[in-house]
Amino acid sequence: MYSNSIIRQNKAKVFLYMAIMTAFIGILGHFVSTYFNFGLTGTGIFLIIAGIMDFVAYFFSDVFVIKSSGAKEIKEEQMPEYFKLVRDMCERNNIKMPKLYLINTAAMNAFATGRNKDRAVVAVTRGLLEKLTPEEISGVVGHELSHIEHGDMFLMSVLSILAGFVSILADAFWRGSLFGRSSDRDRSGIVMLIGLALAIFAPITASLIKLAVSRSREYMADAKGAQICGNPLYLASALNKIKNDMVPLPNAGQATAHLYISNPFKGDVFSRLMSTHPDTDDRIRKLENMNINDKGI
């Protein structure tokens, strides 16, 4: 099946991006060690940090994503109608029922995470459940179930943690270079400039990787999600309402923005320009023109 091929590609990309980020951190560690006269010991420390980062990202990325979003697990007795809607969709499509989480905010958004299908989580906001019809909610949930079926949520969750770690290390180097001793800066000015350039380039590279990965997968998840919910117009209508809802998501950060079904930053011009999501109007047009029997997913 094509979805199995996507899952294999996603797993391969997880290791590829881990290798890229580890290389960035190793090179960054070399310049930090040179600048502060740590020698190879300092470089080794950075490589150890990179190894720990990779381990945490691979095994615990979903935990960090859930915690950072403020999502809380909900039980069936709390929202029986919502549970029935999701369960019915899963049974119709032979999909394992994910755990359901709620983000207590009036903003409208949703995301999926989890290391595999057995640990899969679909999180939606209170505002999304309150403002959308059951049909529109099924469109959103279908989109997130598609991410789970394709293994997208693991790839994108890992990228969140990797990008966050690289940004923290880059920021630490920037601050250290600013407040280091002036004599050190005079002796190692060239090294400092190269190191700072790398410190700036690393998080930008992480963001570009997320952007490239996420935009293509959003289109695929829209198409497959339309099949899962049974009608592409359900998701098209939901995306239109989410687009016009200007309530920002309070706990969203740059490292996790690509996980959500829609850009969580409302009114932030820079964030919209660097959005990991394709244009919402274009997504809606594709859904409105979609043949539900299309199999090119």
Q: What is the rounded CA–CA span in Å between residue 134 and residue 85?
A: 8
Active site residue 76: no
Q: What is the rounded CA–CA span in Å between residue 23 and residue 21?
A: 5
**Of 77, 91, 144, 288, catalytic:** 144
The dihedral over CA atoms of 267, 141, 211, 21, expressed in degrees to the nearest 10, equals 120
In the numeric block, the tokens 């029935």 are attached to 84
The pair of structure tokens assigned to 131 is 């403002």
Alpha helices in the chain (DSSP H): 2-35, 40-69, 80-92, 126-131, 134-150, 152-179, 182-187, 189-229, 232-244, 269-273, 280-288
In the numeric block, the tokens 């079926």 are attached to 149
- Do residues 4 and 297 make contact, with C-beta atoms less than 8 angstroms apart? no
Q: Closest by alpha carbon to 52, among 188, 169, 178?
A: 169
Active site residues: 144
